[in-house]
Amino acid sequence: MENNLWQHILHVRNTSPLVHNITNYVVMNNMANALLAVGASPIMAHAKPEVLYMVKISNAMVINIGTLDEYWEEAMLLAAKNATLLQKPWILDPVGAGATAYRDTVLSTLLKYHPTAIRGNASEIIALADANASITKGVDSTAQSTEALEAAKTMVQNCNSVVCISGETDIIVSQTLKYLKYAETAIVVENILHESYFKDFGLNEKGEIQPACHYIHFRKSTAAMDSVEIAMASVLPCFWIYKKVGDHIYNHLQSENNPYQRWIDTYGGEEFADAVEQAINLCDEVASEATAAVREKMTEAFITSSRMEYHFLGSCI
């Protein structure tokens, strides 16, 4: 993980991307200095006659609604719409969300342009998601970061954005959490399935299958040492190959009183197929946003896991 983050920092330093900022007067100087410190090239511009061109020539954009007024609102909406059309990444900082109806109206419109990332304190994220009644004290938060988790998940689902909750503990919520949820569900279902077979066949010891031990070690080490994207790719064959095997058995090799009918129904059914399709789509989406080097490692991890899955299934025959 640390190495992956460092590679991103080096990429910024080597390319010096131009970052267009429409931000409030309070933090303009800090934003410029922070971007310069990491190697980016900042520009502050909110004049309507030039905002479309600024979006066009920039590599990324930040919109901070702190010192909002009608003129800035028009500039922000123009910039957000154009950034989305040009597929430029942009960040929304919903300062003071929930404080006034005017801010919430502007934010609702900005969200229609699907910001790449949203960064706010817990109260702002809760108010932004309209998850429940929330009192926002200016730009300060009246809620803890963990209280905004469900609201952040809603934002991820509805806006397809990465959501960063700032506070005493910073929390980042993204599509990868959905992927982990699919994996968690698969583990629960599979454990129940296995336990039922241990009972049916009178098995007291699970024993060891060497290909499985090596396979598990590979996935654990990948999850511990590599980035989230690579870990996702290493787990994907567990979904995908089981679906393919389940589909084949379900369509061609069924018979009456099959002792493995529960396994066939689980992995050859529509519910598991839907989960697999979503897992594949999420992995593809993460890959599309990763660097070329990370995508290459994702492919390597996927191929290695697929080969180990093949040997694991072969050992069961």
Q: Which of 225, 240, 230 shows the shortest CA–CA distance to 310?
A: 240
Q: Which of 139, 152, 79 shows the shortest CA–CA distance to 113?
A: 79
Portions of the chain given CATH number 1.20.910.10: 175-315
Compute the distance between CA of residue 273 and CA of residue 262 in angstroms, rounded to an integer: 15
Of 3.20.20.120, 3.40.1190.20, 3.40.50.12280, 3.30.70.20, which CATH number belongs to 2-173? 3.40.1190.20
First to last CA, the chain: 38
What are 68's two structure tokens?
A: 């909002």
Question: Which amino acid, 202?
Answer: G
- Superfamily of chain region 175-315: Heme oxygenase-like (1.20.910.10)
What is the per-residue pLDDT across 29-61, written as a single tens digit (0 to 9) for each? Answer: 999 999 999 999 999 999 999 999 999 999 999
More confident residue, 124 or 136: 124
Q: What does pLDDT average to over the chain? A: 83
Mean pLDDT, range 290-310, rounded to an integer: 90
Residue 254: predicted pLDDT: 61
Instruction: Answer whether residue 86 shows pLDDT above 60.
Output: yes
Portions of the chain given CATH number 3.40.1190.20: 2-173
Q: Which of 190, 119, 123 shows the shortest CA–CA distance to 161?
A: 119
pTM of the model: 0.61
More confident residue, 8 or 299: 299
What are 130's two structure tokens?
A: 């309209």
Compute the distance between CA of residue 140 and CA of residue 120 in angstroms, rounded to an integer: 10
What is the per-residue pLDDT across 195-248, written as a single tens digit (0 to 9) for each? Answer: 777 787 787 765 665 556 677 788 888 877 887 788 889 989 988 888 888 888
